Amino acid sequence: MASIRQNAYPDLLPDFRNLAVMARVLLAVNGAALAASLYAAPELSDALERFVQAAAFLEPLLLVALLALFAFSPWLARLPYAAGCAAVVAAVVALAGLYHVATVSIVPDIAPSLVRTLLLAGLLAASLLAYFRLHTKAYSPALAEARLQALQARIRPHFLFNSLNAVLALIRRDPRRAERSLEDLADLFRTLMSDARQFVRLADEIALLERYAAIEHLRLGDRLRITWDLDSAPPDALLPALVLQPLLENAIYHGVEPGTAAGDVLVQIGRRGDRVHAVIENPYIEAEQRRAGNRMALENVRERLALFFDAEARLDARVLGERYRIDIEIPYRAARP
Amino acid sequence: MMRIFIADDEAPARDRLKVLLGDIAPELPTTVVGEAKNGLEALEALPASGADVVLLDIQMPGMGGLELARHLAGLERAPAVVFVTAHDRHAVEAFELNALDYLLKPVRAERLAAALRKAASEGPAPREQLARAAQAPREYLSVVERSRIVLVPVRDIIFLRAEQKYVTVRTREREHLVEESLVALEREFSGPFVRIHRNCLVARAAIRGFERATGSDDVHWQVVVDGLAERLPVSRRQWPLVREQIADQ
């Protein structure tokens, strides 16, 4: 196909296993039912009664539909977007049909018309899918930006030329270490040029952190002291690419480089129940506030976490005395072995 | 033999420069007389090192290369300065504009040799030229005392007063004399200082209040400053401006 793709990030179905997505569906459907009751009832007092009636019919169906979507979520995610949407709408309509027939056989008066139930179910499912598509679209610039920013940060002459300079200094004295550093640099660039939309395994993101740290160590020597606390980090956890590396880079750029003394950076990643918790901590240098620019990286990571995990992810950044600390929490999802 | 001083916060970068100096030694013999890993260290060690040329990284913790160069320019035997930078686009523009020599990292041997020759023949850049290339006000003023550079943090200064040829720099503890013009100082530190008189700038943060002066025809108000008994006269001309500016705080 010769045409230029306008949208580098194709549409995706919502993650039906995300609690926030489920909450949005529950709220929207009940909201619609309430609106319909208000519209249909002549008096406000009747409306509440109608709503309770509607809810009694609606709620079990809604829960069954959500359960079904939860169960088939991985399979649905593998379909092309249009087919996925069709499958979701078809599934909801089919469930609604079965449910209608079943309930009417028990309580004949609960819902008057099968056609109406099917139409309503289909319409609601389709509108919710449209809503989630818009919701994702609102965040998608963050994805394009993440890649660009990460690339720009790395191609930022500060990092690139200083690293090359450091490697040049090594070539005669310690050729093996120079080789390793160039390999690290190549790996780093390869990851940066890959797709920021992907999920990666935590083990791979940690390997990236270590390569990046090795290059910074080469430049900064003893001034950079990193404490790694990764013993309880689940290697198979999935997280969006380039979430931790830009934050470690911020920590070094703002917390270690401008200081005359050695700077201690802490990288702590672990699992607590069904959550993965990461901490990145660096010295807080007040005079450093004028070297701006990297707040953007933080905002971008925040936006992408919201996009991938909705309300299930958390990112806090704060100054604690003489330390600057970032806390990230995401739900633990294991990669398929 | 040309004596070289190297100031860079990254050890590999200093090593690289030394290797290159070795490479160009057959055509341009040099000796490295000192190294420093930040601006303050360089300021400490450089005057006694007898360096002819200093290779100065621009972005260093403690004190950047540009400010360092401005303090060095006060030395009687000031070294010539060659700036080295990996990236700073704004600094590079300022160097170009003010005809200051610089090298880009990674540095090439030929460029290094050319810059050293040029530096040796042209000598240190004049202070004014360095001041024009600066993009931020200095964090220190400096005084040379017995061929040592003494730094006076700008945030400790209470007032600056022009005397005949010098400017008196008053801190809570003591006075220094610097060879600079009050006009240039006013321009550089227009944020933290306010002019109260033709010959005097006061740190805004040090102003505690105003008092009416008695007995003089020319002076109506004087400034009460933090930590000093001395009162500083506000000229009739500056008074409305001072009052307005201080009221804004």
Q: Tell me which chain A residues have a C-beta less than 8 angstroms from the C-beta of B104.
A: 161
Residue count (chain A): 337
Record the pTM: 0.73
Is omega for the bond preceding B106 within 30 degrees of 0, making it cis?
A: yes
Which residues of chain A make contact with B40, given a CB cutoff of 8 A?
260
Cα A12 to chain center, whole Å?
A: 13
- Domains in chain B, number: 2
Instruction: Select from B133, B151, B184 the last residue of a domain.
Output: B133
Closest CA in chain B for residue A157: B87
- Is there a single domain that holds both residue B68 and residue B86? yes
Residues B201 and B181 in one domain: yes
Q: Give yes or no for a contact between A326 and A281, defined as CB atoms under 8 angstroms apart.
A: yes
CATH number of residue B175's parent domain: 2.40.50.1020
CATH 3.40.50.150 corresponds to the domain A156-331: no
Q: Is the pLDDT of residue A292 over 70?
A: no
pLDDT in tens, A37-87: 888 887 888 888 888 888 888 888 889 899 999 898 888 888 888 888 999
B172 lies in the same domain as B93:
no
Quote the DSSP letter at residue A310: G
Whether residues B196 and B87 share a domain: the answer is no
Looking at the fold, whether B65 and B176 belong to one and the same domain comes out as no
| C-alpha to C-alpha distance for A17 and A67, rounded to whole angstroms | 9
Q: Are residues B76 and B196 in the same domain?
A: no
Backbone φ and ψ for A336, nearest 5 degrees, come out as -65, 130
CB A267 within 8 Å of CB A226 = yes
pLDDT, one tens digit for every residue, chain B (249 residues): 999 999 999 999 999 999 999 999 999 999 999 999 999 999 999 999 999 999 999 989 889 899 999 999 988 889 999 999 987 777 888 888 887 889 999 999 999 999 999 998 998 888 888 888 888 899 999 998 888 899 999 999 999 999 888 999 999 999 999 989 999 999 999 889 999 999 999 999 999 988 887 766 665 888 999 888 888 989 888 888 888 887 765
Q: How far is A146 from chain B (nearest CA, A)?
A: 22
Same domain membership, residue B150 and residue B119: no
- Residue A162 is nearest to which of B38, B62, B86, comparing CB atoms? B86
Residues 6+ apart with CB under 8 A from A7: none
Do both B21 and B64 map to the same domain? Answer: yes
Name the residue range of residue B127's domain. Answer: 2-133
For position B45, which CATH number holds? 3.40.50.2300
DSSP states of A87-149: HHHHHHHHHHHHHHHHHHHHSTTS-S-HHHHHHHHHHHHHHHHHHHHHHHHHHHHHHHHHHHH
Q: Are residues B72 and B118 in the same domain?
A: yes
CA dist., res. A270 & res. A55, Å (int): 42
Angle, CA B71 vertex, CA B68 and CA B76 arms, to 5°: 130
Boundary (domain end) residue, out of B83, B108, B133: B133
What residues does B102 pair with on adjacent strands? B83
> Which among B12, B38, B61 is the nearest to A170, CB-wise?
B12
Pair B207, B111 in one domain: no
Q: Are both B117 and B145 inside the same structural domain?
A: no
pLDDT tens profile A141-185: 666 666 556 555 555 677 888 899 999 999 998 999 999 999 999
Contact call for residues B168 and B203 (beta carbons, < 8 A):
no
Q: What ipTM score was computed for the predicted complex, to two decimals?
A: 0.78
Instruction: Show me where the domains of chain A are located.
Output: 19-137, 156-331
Within 8 A of A258 by CB-CB distance, chain B residues are: 61
Q: Choose one of B101, B133, B165: the last residue of a domain.
A: B133
CA distance A322 to chain B (A): 17
B86:A158 CB<8 A:
yes
